[in-house]
Structure 1
Amino acid sequence: MPLSTDLSTDLADTTYKRVMLKISGEALMGDQGFGLHPPTVQRIAEEVKSVHDLGVEICMVIGGGNIFRGLSGSAQGMERTTADYMGMLATVMNALAMQSALESLDVFTRVISAIPMDQVCEPYIRRRAVRHLEKKRVCIFAAGTGNPYFTTDTAATLRANEMSCEAIFKGTKVDGVYDKDPVKFDDAKRYDTVSYDDVLAKRLGVMDASAIALARDNNLPIIVFSLDEPGGFRGILAGRGTYTKVQG
């Protein structure tokens, strides 16, 4: 999808002024099976910059599954709390990588961690984070909620509510929510809109149940779109593109 060259027109049509972008750690792997793929990180940073250039205030949460996933460690016999903390540290590494890529594009960025580590990023203070957004800095929230047993989906929904975001944008491998896995089933049907309750009842796998319930209770829409579609993030904000909207 070609991007509009008229920023003023796109900005006038932009539905949301402050959003949360949630992506998985696996999105940063590219074609690798593990770790960070710098060209992929740079491509995603360019997508974020294209939206930032519209004047939209952007929060981000990035998972850590490309480096370490707490549930996987727990399944292999590691104590769950320790495994979850290791997963939180993985999200900090991904956040720093994204910060580096964004700042190479002249986008001012702050990594804000739920676990204090002052030498590498800021601690989470809500009012300070809101001020960063008001100054048009991208805020990347790392280390989940700072507590074990909570996923980065829940952390993204929590921070989106605290930052008064108008929507969560969930970047995935597919262009929306389907009634079954579109990779495995040719007859899978995509929803244009779907309710929070249907996502929970049908176990559609948009986000974990805690995140969906938190979004539902605060009437926070979730936009599921393909992160692999060039210009997709910006196009949806300007009222174009293919996606599924989860709402009440």
Structure 2
Amino acid sequence: MPAAPRYKRILVKLSGEALMGDDAYGINRDTLAGIVAEVKAVADLGVEIGVVIGGGNIFRGMAGASSGMDRATADYMGMLATVMNAMALSDAMRQSGLNARVQSALSIEQVVEPYIRGKAIRYLEEGKVVIFGGGTGNPFFTTDTAAALRGSEIGAEIVLKATKVDGVYSADPKKDPSATRYARISFDEAIGRGLGVMDATAFALCRDQKLPINVFSIFKAGALKRVVMGEDEGTLVHV
């Protein structure tokens, strides 16, 4: 009899940059399809999945236009970019046979549903993937903070930060070949060593809610599934 997943409900934090592949900005369709396949492999195990997605891949293409812009205005533009990414991810999931719903912290009801906590939880219980766009709906807060917030609200057992790096290292592995990956590290240790796991607000919220974080590479085949199964993949940050 196959082993059961360690986690029943998860929140995946996916950066917008992860969708670019090798492109300078925008969405690389092959990369998007690969990410969806990783998510589908976990959904097929019966795991309930929420996703918070960033917008850096789209906003990077507007970097010149946004230079010198008021911070709040730029942040709202970034939130709109996350909604665009959420819609693209939802469409790719639909094409792969996954049932997905997009909920936005910004009110754009002609395009996507507004974020309603109770409805999001019901969708998860029905086996649908819920993609949260629009960040927190407020400027000055990152999508890392949105992931910590939504993860806490929906009762996720863990936040999985899907990046291009396969964990948290003692130093930058690109600059220091002797850098080692932490398999596990406490929140207090990560803070004490100045490790950039998430931004400070998100990190503090996860610590206060006793919501563990696992940092792993979404581009490593099967990594998401291994994390969900409780295998040694990426870095687990815990209380």
Shorter-chain-normalised TM-score: which range? over 0.9
Partner of residue 170, structure 1: 161
1:58 is the counterpart of 2:21: no
Displacement of 1:139 in angstroms is: 0.3
Counterpart pick for 1:187 among 175, 178, 190: 178
TM-score (norm 1): 0.92
Q: Secondary structure at the match of 2:2?
A: helix
Per-residue deviation, 1:239: 2.9
Matching residue of 1:3: none
Inter-partner Cα distance in structure 2 for 1:164 and 1:74 = 39
What's the offset of the Cα at 1:73? 7.5
| Pairing partner for 1:198 from 176, 180, 189 | 189
1:49 paired to 2:35: no
Shift of 1:82: 0.3
Do residues 20 (structure 1) and 20 (structure 2) align?
Answer: no
CA distance in structure 2 between the partners assigned to 1:144 and 1:36 by the alignment: 19
| Residue-by-residue CA offset, 1:172-215 (whole Å, 9 max, x unaligned) | 11211001111221011111111112222322111000000000
> Which residues in structure 2 correspond to 1:235-246 (within 5 Å)?
235-246=226-237
The within-5 A match list for 1:224-243 is 224-243=215-234
Counterpart code for 2:32? V
Residue aligned with 1:216, SS: helix
Shift in Å, 1:15:
0.7
Kept in 1: contact 2:20–2:57 (CA 8 A): yes
The residue type equivalent to 2:39 in the other structure is V
The Cα of 1:75 is off from its aligned counterpart by 8.2
Q: Does the CA contact (< 8 Å) of 1:73 and 1:80 recur in 2?
A: no
Q: Which residue of 1 aligns with 2:198?
A: 207
Deviation at 1:226, TM superposition (A): 1.1
Deviations 1:56-104 (A, max 9, x none): 00000111110116xx689831000000000000001111111011111
Q: In structure 2, what is the equivalent of residue 156 of structure 1?
A: 147
Q: Distance in 2 between matches of 1:74 and 1:242?
A: 39
Which segment is superposed worse, 211-220 or 168-177? Answer: 168-177
* Equivalent pair of 2:100/2:131 in contact (CA under 8 Å): yes
Cα distance in 1 between the residues matched to 2:35 and 2:232? 17
Determine whether 1:129 maps to 2:120.
yes
Do 2:226 and 2:233's aligned partners in 1 also have CA atoms closer than 8 Å?
A: no
Percent identical: 53
> Contact (CA 8 Å) 1:225, 1:243: kept in 2 or not?
yes
Structure 2 match to 1:5:
none
Q: Could you tell me which of 126, 132, 138 is aligned with 1:147?
A: 138
Q: Which residue number corresponds to residue 4 of structure 1?
A: none
State the superposition RMSD in angstroms: 1.5
Decide which of 97, 103, 107 is 1:106's aligned counterpart: 97
Deviations 1:10-64 (A, max 9, x none): 4x2x110000000110000001011100111111001000000000000001111
Superposed, 1:86-101 pairs within 5 Å as: 86-101=77-92
SS in 1 for 2:236: strand
- Give the gaps of 5 or more residues in structure 2: none
The structure-2 alpha-carbon separation of the partners of 1:154 and 1:226, relative to structure 1 and needing over 3 Å to count, comes to same
Counterpart CA distance in 2 for 1:28 and 1:241 is 25
Instruction: Find the aligned partners of 1:28 and 1:76 in 2 and give their Cα distance.
Output: 23
Q: Of 190, 203, 222, which residue of structure 1 is paired with 2:213?
A: 222
Q: Note the C-alpha offset of 1:236.
A: 1.9
Judge conservation of contact 1:113–1:143 (CA < 8 Å) in 2. yes
Equivalent residue letter for 2:213? I
